[in-house]
Structure 1
Amino acid sequence: MSERGDETDPVVADLSTLVFEVTGRLRAQFNAAAAELDLPPAQALVLTKLTPPAPMRQLAEWLSCEPSNVTGIVDGLERRGLVIRAPAPGDRRVKHVVLTGAGQEKLAELHARTHAFTKTFFAMPATDQHILRDLLARILDGPPVHPAPADPDRHR
Protein backbone atom coordinates (compact mmCIF):
# COMPACT_ATOMS: atom_id res chain seq x y z
CA MET A 1 0.00 0.00 0.00
CA SER A 2 1.27 3.47 -0.76
CA GLU A 3 2.10 5.98 1.97
CA ARG A 4 -1.00 7.97 1.07
CA GLY A 5 -3.19 4.89 1.50
CA ASP A 6 -4.93 5.51 -1.83
CA GLU A 7 -4.63 2.03 -3.31
CA THR A 8 -7.95 0.40 -3.98
CA ASP A 9 -8.92 -2.39 -1.63
CA PRO A 10 -10.74 -4.89 -3.87
CA VAL A 11 -13.05 -6.10 -1.10
CA VAL A 12 -14.09 -2.56 -0.21
CA ALA A 13 -14.60 -1.82 -3.92
CA ASP A 14 -16.80 -4.93 -4.24
CA LEU A 15 -18.78 -3.95 -1.15
CA SER A 16 -19.38 -0.48 -2.55
CA THR A 17 -20.49 -1.85 -5.92
CA LEU A 18 -22.81 -4.41 -4.33
CA VAL A 19 -24.39 -1.93 -1.91
CA PHE A 20 -25.01 0.54 -4.74
CA GLU A 21 -26.59 -2.21 -6.84
CA VAL A 22 -28.82 -3.37 -3.97
CA THR A 23 -29.81 0.23 -3.26
CA GLY A 24 -30.57 0.83 -6.93
CA ARG A 25 -32.83 -2.21 -7.09
CA LEU A 26 -34.64 -1.25 -3.90
CA ARG A 27 -35.06 2.32 -5.17
CA ALA A 28 -36.42 1.11 -8.52
CA GLN A 29 -38.96 -1.11 -6.76
CA PHE A 30 -39.92 1.72 -4.41
CA ASN A 31 -40.46 4.01 -7.39
CA ALA A 32 -42.56 1.34 -9.14
CA ALA A 33 -44.70 0.87 -6.03
CA ALA A 34 -45.14 4.65 -5.78
CA ALA A 35 -46.16 4.83 -9.45
CA GLU A 36 -48.78 2.10 -8.87
CA LEU A 37 -50.23 4.39 -6.19
CA ASP A 38 -50.07 7.40 -8.54
CA LEU A 39 -47.34 9.07 -6.49
CA PRO A 40 -44.21 10.69 -7.89
CA PRO A 41 -41.13 9.21 -6.17
CA ALA A 42 -40.31 12.44 -4.29
CA GLN A 43 -43.82 12.61 -2.83
CA ALA A 44 -43.62 8.95 -1.81
CA LEU A 45 -40.25 9.55 -0.12
CA VAL A 46 -41.65 12.48 1.83
CA LEU A 47 -44.59 10.37 3.03
CA THR A 48 -42.12 7.85 4.51
CA LYS A 49 -40.49 10.58 6.60
CA LEU A 50 -43.62 12.00 8.25
CA THR A 51 -43.94 9.63 11.19
CA PRO A 52 -43.69 11.68 13.35
CA PRO A 53 -44.52 14.97 11.60
CA ALA A 54 -41.47 16.80 10.32
CA PRO A 55 -40.58 20.43 9.61
CA MET A 56 -40.06 21.44 5.99
CA ARG A 57 -36.38 22.24 6.63
CA GLN A 58 -35.73 18.73 7.95
CA LEU A 59 -37.37 17.23 4.85
CA ALA A 60 -35.15 19.39 2.63
CA GLU A 61 -32.04 18.20 4.48
CA TRP A 62 -33.13 14.58 4.22
CA LEU A 63 -33.85 14.91 0.48
CA SER A 64 -30.63 16.91 -0.04
CA CYS A 65 -32.47 19.66 -1.85
CA GLU A 66 -33.43 23.30 -1.48
CA PRO A 67 -36.39 24.08 0.80
CA SER A 68 -38.20 25.62 -2.19
CA ASN A 69 -38.21 22.16 -3.85
CA VAL A 70 -39.80 20.64 -0.76
CA THR A 71 -42.50 23.29 -0.91
CA GLY A 72 -43.54 22.03 -4.35
CA ILE A 73 -43.51 18.41 -3.21
CA VAL A 74 -45.59 19.20 -0.12
CA ASP A 75 -47.97 21.34 -2.20
CA GLY A 76 -48.64 18.28 -4.38
CA LEU A 77 -49.26 16.06 -1.34
CA GLU A 78 -51.51 18.71 0.15
CA ARG A 79 -53.59 18.97 -3.05
CA ARG A 80 -54.11 15.20 -2.86
CA GLY A 81 -55.30 15.50 0.76
CA LEU A 82 -52.42 13.36 2.04
CA VAL A 83 -50.77 16.00 4.28
CA ILE A 84 -51.46 19.29 5.97
CA ARG A 85 -49.12 21.97 7.23
CA ALA A 86 -49.51 22.68 10.93
CA PRO A 87 -47.71 25.00 13.34
CA ALA A 88 -44.98 23.24 15.29
CA PRO A 89 -45.64 22.78 18.96
CA GLY A 90 -43.69 25.45 20.81
CA ASP A 91 -42.92 27.61 17.73
CA ARG A 92 -45.82 28.62 15.54
CA ARG A 93 -43.41 30.13 12.98
CA VAL A 94 -42.19 26.64 12.05
CA LYS A 95 -44.54 24.54 9.94
CA HIS A 96 -44.65 20.78 10.33
CA VAL A 97 -45.90 18.53 7.58
CA VAL A 98 -48.44 16.13 9.06
CA LEU A 99 -50.02 13.05 7.49
CA THR A 100 -53.80 13.09 7.18
CA GLY A 101 -55.87 9.94 7.54
CA ALA A 102 -55.73 9.52 3.75
CA GLY A 103 -51.96 10.04 3.91
CA GLN A 104 -51.61 7.35 6.56
CA GLU A 105 -53.62 4.94 4.38
CA LYS A 106 -51.50 5.75 1.31
CA LEU A 107 -48.32 5.25 3.35
CA ALA A 108 -49.59 1.89 4.62
CA GLU A 109 -50.29 0.82 1.00
CA LEU A 110 -46.81 1.94 -0.04
CA HIS A 111 -45.21 -0.01 2.83
CA ALA A 112 -47.25 -3.13 1.97
CA ARG A 113 -46.21 -3.02 -1.69
CA THR A 114 -42.54 -2.39 -0.98
CA HIS A 115 -42.47 -5.01 1.79
CA ALA A 116 -43.82 -7.65 -0.58
CA PHE A 117 -40.89 -6.99 -2.91
CA THR A 118 -38.23 -6.78 -0.20
CA LYS A 119 -39.45 -10.02 1.33
CA THR A 120 -38.74 -11.71 -2.00
CA PHE A 121 -35.58 -9.70 -2.64
CA PHE A 122 -34.04 -10.73 0.68
CA ALA A 123 -35.24 -14.34 0.45
CA MET A 124 -32.54 -16.22 2.33
CA PRO A 125 -32.40 -18.22 5.54
CA ALA A 126 -33.51 -16.25 8.59
CA THR A 127 -30.06 -16.51 10.17
CA ASP A 128 -28.52 -14.87 7.08
CA GLN A 129 -31.16 -12.13 7.17
CA HIS A 130 -30.30 -11.43 10.81
CA ILE A 131 -26.56 -11.37 10.08
CA LEU A 132 -27.02 -9.00 7.12
CA ARG A 133 -29.30 -6.75 9.15
CA ASP A 134 -26.86 -6.63 12.05
CA LEU A 135 -23.87 -5.91 9.79
CA LEU A 136 -25.70 -3.08 8.01
CA ALA A 137 -26.83 -1.64 11.35
CA ARG A 138 -23.22 -1.75 12.57
CA ILE A 139 -22.09 0.20 9.52
CA LEU A 140 -24.80 2.81 10.04
CA ASP A 141 -23.99 3.09 13.75
CA GLY A 142 -20.36 3.95 12.93
CA PRO A 143 -18.97 7.43 12.61
CA PRO A 144 -20.74 9.59 10.01
CA VAL A 145 -18.92 9.95 6.75
CA HIS A 146 -18.69 13.52 5.55
CA PRO A 147 -17.85 14.47 1.99
CA ALA A 148 -14.34 15.76 1.43
CA PRO A 149 -14.12 19.53 1.39
CA ALA A 150 -14.26 21.05 -2.07
CA ASP A 151 -10.92 21.83 -3.65
CA PRO A 152 -10.88 25.63 -4.17
CA ASP A 153 -8.45 25.26 -7.11
CA ARG A 154 -10.53 22.61 -8.89
CA HIS A 155 -12.48 25.04 -11.10
CA ARG A 156 -9.62 27.32 -12.04
Structure 2
Amino acid sequence: MTRAEQINAAIRAIAFAQRATADAWVAGSGLTRQQAFTLGYIEEHQDRGVIARELAEMSGTTPASVASLLQGLEDRGLLTRTPSPDDSRVKLLAVTEEASELVVGFDEQMRAAQERFFSSLTVDEQDQLAALLDRVVAGLDVDIPTEPPRRTRRRR
Protein backbone atom coordinates (compact mmCIF):
# COMPACT_ATOMS: atom_id res chain seq x y z
CA MET A 1 0.00 0.00 0.00
CA THR A 2 1.38 3.39 -0.95
CA ARG A 3 1.59 6.20 1.59
CA ALA A 4 -1.21 8.07 -0.25
CA GLU A 5 -3.40 4.95 -0.12
CA GLN A 6 -2.66 4.55 3.59
CA ILE A 7 -3.63 8.17 4.31
CA ASN A 8 -6.76 7.87 2.19
CA ALA A 9 -7.75 4.64 3.98
CA ALA A 10 -7.34 6.36 7.36
CA ILE A 11 -9.48 9.31 6.25
CA ARG A 12 -12.15 6.89 4.95
CA ALA A 13 -12.09 4.98 8.26
CA ILE A 14 -12.72 8.25 10.14
CA ALA A 15 -15.57 9.10 7.76
CA PHE A 16 -17.12 5.65 8.27
CA ALA A 17 -16.84 6.07 12.05
CA GLN A 18 -18.62 9.41 11.78
CA ARG A 19 -21.34 7.85 9.63
CA ALA A 20 -21.81 5.01 12.14
CA THR A 21 -22.13 7.57 14.96
CA ALA A 22 -24.72 9.52 12.97
CA ASP A 23 -26.63 6.35 12.11
CA ALA A 24 -26.69 5.30 15.78
CA TRP A 25 -28.14 8.68 16.76
CA VAL A 26 -30.74 8.51 14.00
CA ALA A 27 -31.76 4.99 15.07
CA GLY A 28 -32.37 6.21 18.63
CA SER A 29 -34.12 9.43 17.63
CA GLY A 30 -37.31 7.92 16.25
CA LEU A 31 -36.57 9.60 12.91
CA THR A 32 -35.53 8.17 9.59
CA ARG A 33 -32.19 9.27 8.14
CA GLN A 34 -34.05 11.44 5.60
CA GLN A 35 -36.18 13.07 8.31
CA ALA A 36 -33.13 13.79 10.47
CA PHE A 37 -31.19 15.22 7.53
CA THR A 38 -34.18 17.36 6.50
CA LEU A 39 -34.66 18.80 9.99
CA GLY A 40 -30.96 19.53 10.32
CA TYR A 41 -30.83 21.22 6.94
CA ILE A 42 -33.92 23.33 7.61
CA GLU A 43 -32.68 24.32 11.05
CA GLU A 44 -29.30 25.36 9.69
CA HIS A 45 -30.76 27.43 6.83
CA GLN A 46 -34.17 28.61 8.05
CA ASP A 47 -32.92 32.15 8.69
CA ARG A 48 -32.68 32.71 4.94
CA GLY A 49 -35.93 30.86 4.21
CA VAL A 50 -36.07 27.22 3.11
CA ILE A 51 -38.80 26.04 0.76
CA ALA A 52 -39.86 22.54 -0.26
CA ARG A 53 -38.61 22.96 -3.83
CA GLU A 54 -35.08 23.59 -2.50
CA LEU A 55 -35.22 20.35 -0.50
CA ALA A 56 -36.35 18.42 -3.57
CA GLU A 57 -33.56 19.90 -5.71
CA MET A 58 -30.88 19.45 -3.07
CA SER A 59 -31.81 15.85 -2.24
CA GLY A 60 -32.58 14.76 -5.80
CA THR A 61 -36.05 13.58 -4.85
CA THR A 62 -39.44 14.38 -6.29
CA PRO A 63 -41.56 17.23 -4.98
CA ALA A 64 -44.21 14.64 -4.05
CA SER A 65 -41.73 12.73 -1.88
CA VAL A 66 -40.64 15.93 -0.16
CA ALA A 67 -44.27 16.96 0.40
CA SER A 68 -44.97 13.61 2.06
CA LEU A 69 -41.84 13.87 4.21
CA LEU A 70 -42.70 17.42 5.29
CA GLN A 71 -46.30 16.48 6.06
CA GLY A 72 -45.09 13.69 8.35
CA LEU A 73 -42.73 16.05 10.17
CA GLU A 74 -45.46 18.66 10.49
CA ASP A 75 -47.91 16.06 11.82
CA ARG A 76 -45.36 15.13 14.50
CA GLY A 77 -45.03 18.77 15.55
CA LEU A 78 -41.43 19.06 14.33
CA LEU A 79 -41.97 21.48 11.47
CA THR A 80 -44.02 24.54 10.63
CA ARG A 81 -44.88 26.07 7.27
CA THR A 82 -45.71 29.75 7.02
CA PRO A 83 -46.51 31.88 3.97
CA SER A 84 -43.58 33.85 2.59
CA PRO A 85 -43.91 37.60 3.11
CA ASP A 86 -42.87 38.01 -0.53
CA ASP A 87 -45.20 35.42 -2.12
CA SER A 88 -48.12 33.92 -0.21
CA ARG A 89 -48.09 30.88 -2.53
CA VAL A 90 -44.66 29.92 -1.17
CA LYS A 91 -44.40 28.32 2.27
CA LEU A 92 -41.28 28.87 4.35
CA LEU A 93 -40.18 25.94 6.47
CA ALA A 94 -39.01 26.18 10.07
CA VAL A 95 -38.29 23.63 12.75
CA THR A 96 -40.16 23.70 16.05
CA GLU A 97 -38.44 23.95 19.42
CA GLU A 98 -38.84 20.18 19.84
CA ALA A 99 -37.09 19.53 16.52
CA SER A 100 -34.38 22.04 17.35
CA GLU A 101 -33.65 20.15 20.57
CA LEU A 102 -33.34 16.93 18.56
CA VAL A 103 -30.88 18.58 16.19
CA VAL A 104 -28.83 19.96 19.10
CA GLY A 105 -28.66 16.43 20.52
CA PHE A 106 -27.27 15.20 17.23
CA ASP A 107 -24.67 17.97 17.08
CA GLU A 108 -23.57 17.26 20.65
CA GLN A 109 -23.22 13.53 20.00
CA MET A 110 -21.21 14.15 16.83
CA ARG A 111 -18.88 16.61 18.59
CA ALA A 112 -18.29 14.11 21.41
CA ALA A 113 -17.54 11.36 18.90
CA GLN A 114 -15.10 13.58 17.03
CA GLU A 115 -13.29 14.32 20.29
CA ARG A 116 -13.04 10.55 20.93
CA PHE A 117 -11.75 9.87 17.40
CA PHE A 118 -8.74 12.12 17.95
CA SER A 119 -8.19 11.60 21.69
CA SER A 120 -5.17 9.35 21.04
CA LEU A 121 -3.34 12.45 19.76
CA THR A 122 -2.00 15.22 21.95
CA VAL A 123 -3.35 18.73 21.43
CA ASP A 124 -0.16 19.64 19.56
CA GLU A 125 -0.49 16.57 17.33
CA GLN A 126 -4.13 17.45 16.62
CA ASP A 127 -3.03 20.98 15.67
CA GLN A 128 -0.36 19.56 13.37
CA LEU A 129 -2.83 17.15 11.75
CA ALA A 130 -5.38 19.92 11.22
CA ALA A 131 -2.72 22.17 9.67
CA LEU A 132 -1.52 19.40 7.36
CA LEU A 133 -5.04 18.51 6.25
CA ASP A 134 -5.80 22.20 5.66
CA ARG A 135 -2.78 22.30 3.31
CA VAL A 136 -4.01 19.22 1.46
CA VAL A 137 -7.48 20.73 1.06
CA ALA A 138 -6.04 24.07 -0.06
CA GLY A 139 -4.02 22.26 -2.73
CA LEU A 140 -6.99 20.43 -4.20
CA ASP A 141 -7.85 21.50 -7.71
CA VAL A 142 -11.59 21.11 -7.16
CA ASP A 143 -14.08 23.39 -5.48
CA ILE A 144 -14.99 22.17 -2.02
CA PRO A 145 -18.70 22.80 -1.40
CA THR A 146 -19.73 24.43 1.85
CA GLU A 147 -23.26 23.04 1.49
CA PRO A 148 -24.58 19.71 0.22
CA PRO A 149 -24.78 19.63 -3.57
CA ARG A 150 -28.00 20.54 -5.32
CA ARG A 151 -29.07 17.67 -7.49
CA THR A 152 -31.80 17.57 -10.05
CA ARG A 153 -33.54 14.46 -11.25
CA ARG A 154 -33.16 13.55 -14.86
CA ARG A 155 -36.33 13.47 -16.82
CA ARG A 156 -36.90 10.16 -18.59
TM over 0.5: yes
Cα 1:142–1:116 shift into 2, 3 Å: same
Cα 1:133–1:14 shift into 2, 3 Å: closer
1:62 pairs, out of 39, 58, 70, with: 58
Name the counterpart of 2:154.
none
2-structure distance, mates of 1:68, 1:140: 38
Name the counterpart of 2:34.
42
For residues 109-134 of structure 1, give each alpha carbon's deviation from its aligned partner in whole angstroms, at most 9, with x where no partner exists.
11112221122124333313532663
Secondary structure, in 3 states, of the residue corresponding to 1:84? strand
**What is the RMSD of the two structures over their aligned residues, measured on CA atoms?**
3.2
Shift of 1:33: 0.7
Identity, in percent, stands at 26
Answer whether contact 2:51 2:92 (CA < 8 A) is retained. yes
Answer whether contact 1:122 1:129 (CA < 8 A) is retained. no
Equivalent residue letter for 1:39: L
1:102 pairs, out of 98, 102, 107, with: 98
1-structure distance, mates of 2:102, 2:18: 19
Shift of 1:56: 1.1
Cα 1:23–1:103 shift into 2, 3 Å: same
Name the counterpart of 1:126.
126
- Structure 2 runs not aligned, ≥5 long: 150-156
Cα 1:100–1:16 shift into 2, 3 Å: same
For residues 47-79 of structure 1, give each alpha carbon's deviation from its aligned partner in whole angstroms, at most 9, with x where no partner exists.
111123211121222222222222222222212
2:83 pairs, out of 78, 81, 87, with: 87
Name the counterpart of 1:52.
45
Secondary structure, in 3 states, of the residue corresponding to 2:89? strand
Secondary structure, in 3 states, of the residue corresponding to 1:52? helix
Cα 1:62–1:15 shift into 2, 3 Å: farther
Q: TM-score, normalised by structure 1?
A: 0.68
Name the counterpart of 1:143.
143
Name the counterpart of 2:15.
23
1:32 pairs, out of 2, 6, 24, with: 24
- Which of the pair is proportionally richer in strand? 1
Name the counterpart of 1:153.
none
- Structure 1 runs not aligned, ≥5 long: 1-9, 147-156
- Which of the pair is proportionally richer in helix? 2
